[in-house]
Structure formats: structure tokens, C-alpha cells
Amino acid sequence: MASYKNEVNDSAASLFSPYKLGKFSLSHRVVLAPMTRCRAINEIPNDALKEYYVQRSTPGGFLISEGTLISPTAPGFPHCPGIYTNEQVKAWKKVVNAVHAKGAVIFCQLWHVGRASHTVYQPGGKAPISSTNKPISNRWRILMPDGSTEKYPAPRALVSHEIPEIVEQYRQAAINAIQAGFDGVEIHGAHGYLIDQFLKDGINDRTDEYGGSLTNRCRFLVQVVHAVATAIGADRVAIRISPAIDHLDASDSNPLALGLTVVMCLNKLQLDLNSQLTYLHVTQPRYVAYGQTESARQGSEEEEAQLIRTLRKAYQGSFMCSGGYTRELGMEAVAQGDADLVSFGRLFYIES
């Protein structure tokens, strides 16, 4: 694999300048961040979902879908779309075709919530799966199908021989996404969901090959990325991480070391595959989750910026950042070289 170099004039980069993202020619660097919509009745994308994405599509724009369920055990919210059945794939085709008709590029975010679920969402009313048996603390509440909230139940820790089956679910979901017409996939490895539950030492208490050392805690992520990249091509695969975010109790004792280890693993994987991933997407510590106040911010502005800069410098590929960015902060991030692309959520968030 040749050393990483972007073809677009980065010396004069701005948030609204073109960018060559692998095989995709973008007209600007503003990205629609993945946001849970809870509009897909029975996990099937519908016209309301199609309208949402079409309204946010522009020629040469880049969209990331909301978290999309990879399997029947993946949900933890009501009415989230899936990508694991033929009916779901067929329904997504209508959405993707409409986005493409507007000239935009769209990736499907592959999502498994892990322990951030409830027995009501699980097949047969079983416990959610995770890296651990520890439940999410009472600081957090789960949204139930009737609109009420409850405490998170205790999950069941996956035994090591079950993990390849979960990896296969990610692989098949990626294949399904390409069949639905998506231009690629973003693997959700952030914000306290399943992959993050393996990455963070505040959650992962395993003593097998998936726990303990940083390399072991990254093993599941690497296996998922490798399986997906092998199935659909590395140039159609991205990964999102949030090493410094403690959303849903996903804390780590050394976020920078974790982030750098993930980056090291991804760089090595790209060399092994002789192909680059589409991008790495990192959430700032500035990120404040839905229902939290600004007091929940983790770290000073300088600490936040330093984490992003360090990971950006270490990663050999296109780098996207997110987390509470305003228009001005996004422009600054690109102009200073802290990111190639910036994903925005709340600035796209209007009821439609």
C-alpha cells in the first residue's frame, strides 16, 4: 500500500472545499452524522426515513445513516431500522436510490448496542449480550417501546466461542448494505455500544484473549473490520470510535493510549489488506449525549483538541471528527489540519 496522501489541495483546505475520499469525489467536507430517528416501524425503513435523508442530500455531499441493526439481538431503541433481512434490504434500496438521485454519497452505519438494551428488545426476552456481565449504572435509563424509561438490566457476557458469530453478523450486514445500494459502511465502535464495550477497561473485565491488554481489547474491533473489509473491500469500510467518551459508562483509564492502539491496529490492518479504509471517524470529548447538560463535557477545550490532533497525526488515512462542532469550529478544524471532514448532527436536526 502506498503511503497516504490526499489528492485534493489540502494546503488551501476549508470546510467547503472539495475532498477526494477514496473513490468518492465530495464537493465539500460537511458530513451528515448518524442520528437515531426511531421512525422505522418494525425495523423496516419507510417513506418518512427516505424523506429525512433526501432532505439532507446535496450533490457531492456525504451522509452516514442512523445506526442500523445487524441482527435480531442488536436493538436497544424502538423503531430502529435493520439490515439483516431481505425485506429490510429491499426497503433501504428505495432510500438509497433517492439519495443517489440527489447526487449524494451514503454509508450505512452498522450497529449493535450490546448491553445498552433490555429484555423487551431481545429475542425470547433473553438478556442482552456484552463483553461483561456488569449492567449499565442507574445514572442512565433506557427508552422503552411505550415511551417510558427503565433501568438497564444485567447483560450476559459472550463466551469466546460465540464471538465469531457476532463478527459474521457484521460481515453479512455489510454485504446486505452493499446489496441495498449503499456506497459503503461505517462500523459503530463508539459511544458505549457493543464494540466499545470490548475496547474500554471501565467495562471490559474479561480474562481471555478479548480482555486485559490494549491489544486484546482491540481484538474484536480488528476482527470485525477485517471481516467486513474482506467481504466488501476496505475502500468501502469506515470505523467510528470515541476513546475519551464515557457515554453509557464506557470509560477508560487511558483514552489516549486506547485511541493510539486502535489507530496502530487499523494502520497495520490496512497494510495487511494492501488497501486503505475509507476513513476513521473520532468523536471529541466535547460530545454531550442527548439528555445531558454541558456540565457533562469531559476535559478542557485544549485537551479535547489535543486528543483529536494526536490521533489524526497517527492515523494513515482520511480522518473525520465529530462532537458538538459549530460551523466555526468545523471550519477551524479543517483549516488547521485537525480533520479532513467534520460530521454534524444537531445542525441538521430539524423536525421534518
Active site residues: 193
Cell of 232: 466488501
| Dist CA 255 CA 232 (whole Å) | 30
* Helix-, strand-, coil-residue percentages of the chain, each rounded to 5: 40, 15, 45
H helical segments located in 233-326: 255-273, 301-314
Contact 186, 225 (CB under 8 A): no
Cell of 287: 460530545
| Dist CA 198 CA 191 (whole Å) | 12
Contact 322, 284 (CB under 8 A): yes
Neighbours of 332 (CB within 10 A): 16
| Dist CA 89 CA 9 (whole Å) | 38
Residues in the chain: 352
| Dist CA 186 CA 105 (whole Å) | 13
| Dist CA 111 CA 348 (whole Å) | 21
Neighbours of 132 (CB within 10 A): 21
- Residues facing 344 on adjacent strands: 32
